[in-house]
Amino acid sequence: MHVHDYFDDLTRRDWDTGTDGPDGTVRFAVVGVGGFARKAALPAIADGDYAEATVLVTGSPGDVEDITEEHGIERVLTYEEYHDGAATDAYDAVYVVTPNALHPEAIETAAGQGKAVLSEKPLAATVEGAKRAVAACEDANVPLMTAYRMQFDPVVRRLRELVGEGGVGDPLQLHGGFAFEVLGGSRGPDQWRLDADLAGGGALMDVGVYPLNTARYLVDADPVAVTATTRGEGVFADVDEQIAFQLEFPDGVTASFTAGFSGYRESHLSIRGTEGRVELSDSAFGTEDARRVSVYRDDVRAVVDGPETSEIREEFDYFAHAVLTGGEIAPDGEEGLRDVQVTAAAYEAAESGERVEIRYSRE
């Protein structure tokens, strides 16, 4: 096995195998126009091949004139107008980027209108909310995808192939962490991430789901049990400021992760196997920096620097391509639900101080 063989054609779109792309584009209604939508999602859509934004849904229509002008968006709806079914002829799919607790309602509305749905992670603030979202799309027979952008980064996709084909032997342990200053910059304590009702939790729900879902993607398995420890005080009294959690996967594989809303920034992931080890570093979970993967086997280190490819653009193009061609969609709503079930079990474990088996029931 030659490590570089996996990364020679690094940016290939393995999901876009046709010689010609599908005809047309998928027109998106972007539900929620906060900082992530403005700075990351809308530019990614504009830069894509198969997607375009045609409608904005916001609680402050007067505050989005700069965005509508920059991206040529002609329709702006209030949330009430969106839920009432206004302008449904102006979009084909809905991208939900509201606070977590508001995802299910926006998804249910989209499903009722027969629109495909791409929802930000986590799928909901609660397990019941995630079940509602998945059921609404299943009942309406519309696709639902959870926006795990990491699965569309070229480095991560190639890394999954390497791990899946025995590049480190049998996986044994995963380690990782993601942390940032949630109160940094212009962000103060009056934000939805610190509201337990809107967010469903703190660092775990916002950034801890990145190593969680990326681990599930790389080893292609669901964890069966979890232990966890949380800390939070002051402005973090209602949410976890810091969390450390350990996951048990089938076949004896374990994962130890941390997430944080304060302290020095962190963004890394590693996998150790029976025959080697890989590290994903240089902002493993960030949106702006190129990623570096290091593979260790037989006392040899191979290093590959990732390209400046926007995984958010790739995510939108993948989803739109699948909608246009009727292709299979992953990560789907069921995967998003499973991650919410894992986070619920982690919080239960932190509160009880005991190991908690993860329940994936749809009941």
Tokens 């009294």 correspond to: 237
Q: Residue 172, Cβ neighbours under 10 Å: how many?
A: 15
End-to-end Cα distance, the chain: 45
Is the pLDDT confidence value at 3 over 80?
Answer: no
Q: How far apart are CA 147 and CA 213, in angstroms?
A: 11
Is the pLDDT confidence value at 5 over 80?
Answer: no
pLDDT, position 182 = 96
Q: How far apart are CA 312 and CA 306, in angstroms?
A: 15
Q: How far apart are CA 209 and CA 121, in angstroms?
A: 8
Mean pLDDT of 331-342: 98
pTM (2 d.p.): 0.95
**Per-residue pLDDT reduced to its tens digit, 102-120:** 999 999 999 999 999 999 9
**Per-residue pLDDT reduced to its tens digit, 128-177:** 999 999 999 999 999 999 999 999 998 899 999 999 999 999 999 999 99
Q: How far apart are CA 176 and CA 104, in angstroms?
A: 29
Residue pair 159/311 in contact (Cβ under 8 Å)? The answer is no
pLDDT, position 286 = 87
Kindly report, as residue ranges, where domains of CATH 3.40.50.720 are found in the chain: 14-148
Kindly report, as residue ranges, where domains of CATH 3.30.360.10 are found in the chain: 154-308+332-357
Q: For the domain bounded by 14-148, which CATH number is listed?
A: 3.40.50.720
Strand pairing report for 75-77 and 51-57: parallel
Domain 154-308+332-357 CATH superfamily: Dihydrodipicolinate Reductase; domain 2 (3.30.360.10)
For residue 118, what are its two tokens?
Answer: 């791409």
Is the pLDDT confidence value at 226 over 70?
Answer: yes
pLDDT, position 11 = 79
Residue pair 25/52 in contact (Cβ under 8 Å)? The answer is yes
Q: How far apart are CA 228 and CA 208, in angstroms?
A: 12
Residue pair 42/22 in contact (Cβ under 8 Å)? The answer is no
The alpha carbon dihedral of 134, 208, 3, 169 has a sign of: negative
User: What does pLDDT average to over the chain?
Assistant: 94
Percent of the chain past pLDDT 90, that is, above it, reads: 84
